[in-house]
Amino acid sequence: MCGIFGFVGEGGKVRDLVDALKKLEYRGYDSAGVAFWDEDAVRLFKIKGKVSDLETALGDILDLDIKGGIAHTRWATHGEPNDVNAHPHFDCERKIFVVHNGIIENHKELRKELEKRGHRFVSDTDTEVLAHLIEENYYGNILEALRRILPLLRGSYAVVAMHSDEVGILAAARKGSPLVIGKNENFCVVASDITPILKYTKEVIFLDEGETVSVGGTVDFVGLKDSVEKRIFHISWSERDAEKGGYKHFMLKEIMEEPEVLKNAMAGRMKGSKVEFEELKGWEDFLSNVEKVKMIACGTSHHAGMLFKYFIEDLIQIEVETDVASEMRYRKTKVDDETLFIAISQSGETADTLETVRKIKEKGGRVLSLCNVLGSTLTRESDRTIFLNAGPEISVASTKAYVAQVVVLLLLGVELARIKGKNIPAGFLDDLRDIHARFEEILENSNLIRDTAREFVKFRNFMYIGRWMGYPSALEGALKLKEISYTNATAYPAGELKHGPIALLDEDFPVFAIVPTDRMKEKMLNNIMEVKARKAKVVGVVTEGDDEVFRLLDHTLKIPKVHEYLYPLVMAPVLQLFAYFIADERGLDVDKPRNLAKSVTVE
């Protein structure tokens, strides 16, 4: 969603603001803008379209020496995407400039009152009220003015403001939307996520809920009432991790990184035939009494949670409930001492997931989170966090983070089984330990997946089917295909076909079957016969050497033989690459699919 960047310091150029916006592009946006001090005035450039359009509009100005400024990529919520609604927004005198992520829920009332008092609005956005409110409360100090208006606001915000008379000072505040601060010898920087900061420093500070900060010669944090001491976090990601590194798309690069991601996610956690989580130390008593697990997540992360349900119910026979967080947050979920809540989120900033976690915490529930982003809101609001260690995921479609989520959940299941005195099936841990090598084999043969994808490029409908642990894989495969290639892809447990969806199938409606050699293979074969009888073409993921399935399908994508609990894992890169190649063949913007954003910070 929207992205924020700002810097102050000596030796900067307008280009620095634009370069930072390029690092934020992956979040999804429809317009971009910058405001910067030039002598003692502030100059503003904003435009509907890409950061590259803004760059072209700026031309020679890119090389102008500046003492700082603010920049923004906007993903429209209030008001259509156009030049006027793009950020930064300004007050009546064009002295105060603001960029904002989030939603000011009471913006209509505030705007009405401000207009009554003579303020002139130019945009349709909720953000513009911030500039006018600061104008009314400004007595020579931008941070104090910003602090004065915060109690008037309802909703969520990360906001950075500047005043033309206070050259070299930015004021920032957060509630519900993240802001990160960094500092090196020459610059102080503030941004909505870590990626544009990596160029300046790897030591960062996260703004907490309700805090404000003035970023200038010094960085002064103020809590709700008083000055606060902040913890400095070291970021292990490098600037290069967040670059394409020769790949055509981030998505492809991130899929190719999966063998490494698996190793990193398991490092220090899998010791011989034992699994250990430092993060769970002291929770042994609680975990041994856990009778129920409830998963909180959205989208791809929710599919990882569904896999955990099948795995744990099989391994330990405890009940696992999964629901998308956008539903769970409005349900009256029971919270007790025997329930473990697991929140899964790549970004740690997904609004529905966070709000559900807050509700559970208010009722006294214990939340363990699985997250990829250090310092993100989820990690600070959960009781315990297990980091995924997947490195920055830039492509909007989640790939390597999903693989890391699944492997961490499998390890977590093993740990829970140990705590509860249950046996782990022979062979599972051995196969798990070497799983990165199986991924390497699959990725080396990615050209075979590309060839199959080419055969299916012309189809505009797809039905994914699977059973047991193959069902969440079907859901995830269909989600990948629909989000990046705009193909109408649905997913069903194969046993449900005859209760309705089979009516859709004919020679123009292919089926993607998840049919590894697991306990449900025979049932899947029956379902495949049913769809073939309706003349639907069937492509399937099958286990290497399983000739029975191989003979039945029109096209096969092979995965190596592993323990049946691990098929969803080795299946993941195949499903991801199939979707990737279809989208790429169609010439689509794979990394930034239309209407989508990387981190969904609004409800």
Contact 189, 196 (CB under 8 A): yes
Q: How far apart are the first and last CA of the chain?
A: 12
**Run of H or E residues at 541:** strand 538-543
> To the nearest whole angstrom, how small is the minimum distance from the Cβ of residue 398 to ligand F6R?
3
Nearest-CB residue for ligand F6R: 299
> To the nearest whole angstrom, how small is the minimum distance from the Cβ of residue 392 to ligand F6R?
12
Distances (CA, A) of 56 to 23, 50, 76, 439: 17, 10, 22, 42
Q: Which is nearer to ligand F6R, 16 or 254 (CB)?
A: 254
* Alpha helix (H) residue ranges in 461-532: 470-485, 521-532
Site for ligand F6R contains 346 (CB under 6 A): yes
> To the nearest whole angstrom, how small is the minimum distance from the Cβ of residue 383 to ligand F6R?
18
Q: 102: which 2 tokens?
A: 């989030």
Among 483, 518, 564, 591, binds ligand F6R (CB under 6 A): 483
Binding track, positions 390-409, relative to ligand F6R; x by CB under 6 A: -------xx-----------
Contact 258, 404 (CB under 8 A): no
> To the nearest whole angstrom, how small is the minimum distance from the Cβ of residue 373 to ligand F6R?
8
| Backbone φ, ψ for residue 255 (5° rounding) | -65, -45
Q: Which is nearer to ligand F6R, 201 or 350 (CB)?
A: 350
Among 20, 160, 298, 602, binds ligand F6R (CB under 6 A): 298
**Run of H or E residues at 42:** strand 41-48
| Distant-in-sequence, close-in-space partners of 577: CB < 8 Å, separation ≥ 6 | 255, 446, 449, 450, 453
Q: Which of 50, 294, 537, 598 is catalytic?
A: 598
Stretch that binds ligand F6R, among 250-258, 267-275, 293-301, 551-559 (CB under 6 A): 293-301
Active site residue 598: yes
Q: 126: which 2 tokens?
A: 């909720």
**Cis bond upstream, residue 516 (ω within 30):** no
CA dist., res. 141 & res. 146, Å (int): 9
Q: Which is nearer to ligand F6R, 101 or 353 (CB)?
A: 353
Site for ligand F6R contains 601 (CB under 6 A): no
Site for ligand F6R contains 350 (CB under 6 A): yes
Quick one: CA dihedral 492, 493, 494, 499, positive or negative? negative
Q: Which is nearer to ligand F6R, 103 or 134 (CB)?
A: 103
Active site residue 298: no
| Backbone φ, ψ for residue 298 (5° rounding) | -130, 155
Q: Which is nearer to ligand F6R, 30 or 483 (CB)?
A: 483
> To the nearest whole angstrom, how small is the minimum distance from the Cβ of residue 395 to ligand F6R?
8
CA angle, 232 then 233 then 236, to 5° = 150
| Distant-in-sequence, close-in-space partners of 119: CB < 8 Å, separation ≥ 6 | 91, 92, 132, 135, 136
* Alpha helix (H) residue ranges in 71-203: 107-116, 128-136, 142-149
CA dist., res. 144 & res. 206, Å (int): 20
Stretch that binds ligand F6R, among 45-53, 143-151, 346-354, 540-548 (CB under 6 A): 346-354
Site for ligand F6R contains 593 (CB under 6 A): no
> To the nearest whole angstrom, how small is the minimum distance from the Cβ of residue 300 to ligand F6R?
3
Q: Which is nearer to ligand F6R, 221 or 341 (CB)?
A: 341
CB neighbour class for 503 (10 Å; exposed up to 12, middle 13-18, buried from 19) = exposed
Question: Residue 129's closest CA among 107, 162, 151, 101?
Answer: 107
In the DSSP assignment, the letter for residue 331 is S
CA dist., res. 471 & res. 440, Å (int): 24
Site for ligand F6R contains 301 (CB under 6 A): yes
Q: 283: which 2 tokens?
A: 């929770």
Count of positions on this chain that bind ligand F6R (CB under 6 A): 15
Among 171, 600, 601, 602, binds ligand F6R (CB under 6 A): 600
One DSSP character per residue, 299-324 reads HHHHHHHHHHHHHHHHHT--EEEEEE
> To the nearest whole angstrom, how small is the minimum distance from the Cβ of residue 2 to ligand F6R?
15
Site for ligand F6R contains 347 (CB under 6 A): yes
> To the nearest whole angstrom, how small is the minimum distance from the Cβ of residue 339 to ligand F6R?
21
Q: Which is nearer to ligand F6R, 212 or 376 (CB)?
A: 376
> To the nearest whole angstrom, how small is the minimum distance from the Cβ of residue 597 to ligand F6R?
8
Q: Which is nearer to ligand F6R, 183 or 598 (CB)?
A: 598
Radius of gyration of the chain (CA): 25
Site for ligand F6R contains 299 (CB under 6 A): yes
Distances (CA, A) of 178 to 21, 96, 99, 512: 16, 22, 13, 39
Among 177, 369, 599, 601, binds ligand F6R (CB under 6 A): 599
Q: Which is nearer to ligand F6R, 388 or 542 (CB)?
A: 388
Q: Which residue type, as a one-letter code, is found at position 361? A: K
Binding track, positions 40-79, relative to ligand F6R; x by CB under 6 A: ----------------------------------------
| Backbone φ, ψ for residue 275 (5° rounding) | -115, 135
Q: 563: which 2 tokens?
A: 């323990």
> To the nearest whole angstrom, how small is the minimum distance from the Cβ of residue 478 to ligand F6R?
11
Q: Which is nearer to ligand F6R, 380 or 563 (CB)?
A: 380
> To the nearest whole angstrom, how small is the minimum distance from the Cβ of residue 304 to ligand F6R?
9
Q: Which is nearer to ligand F6R, 214 or 301 (CB)?
A: 301
Binding track, positions 212-241, relative to ligand F6R; x by CB under 6 A: ------------------------------
Stretch that binds ligand F6R, among 211-219, 292-300, 419-427, 491-499 (CB under 6 A): 292-300
Among 345, 356, 379, 389, binds ligand F6R (CB under 6 A): 345
Site for ligand F6R contains 300 (CB under 6 A): yes
Q: 564: which 2 tokens?
A: 């049946």
Contact 214, 169 (CB under 8 A): yes
Site for ligand F6R contains 353 (CB under 6 A): yes
User: Helix (H, G, I), strand (E, B), or coil: what is residue 357?
Assistant: helix
What positions carry a catalytic annotation? 2, 598
- Residues of the shown chain interacting with ligand F6R in the complex, contacts defined by CB under 6 A: 298-301, 345-347, 350, 353, 397-398, 479, 483, 599-600
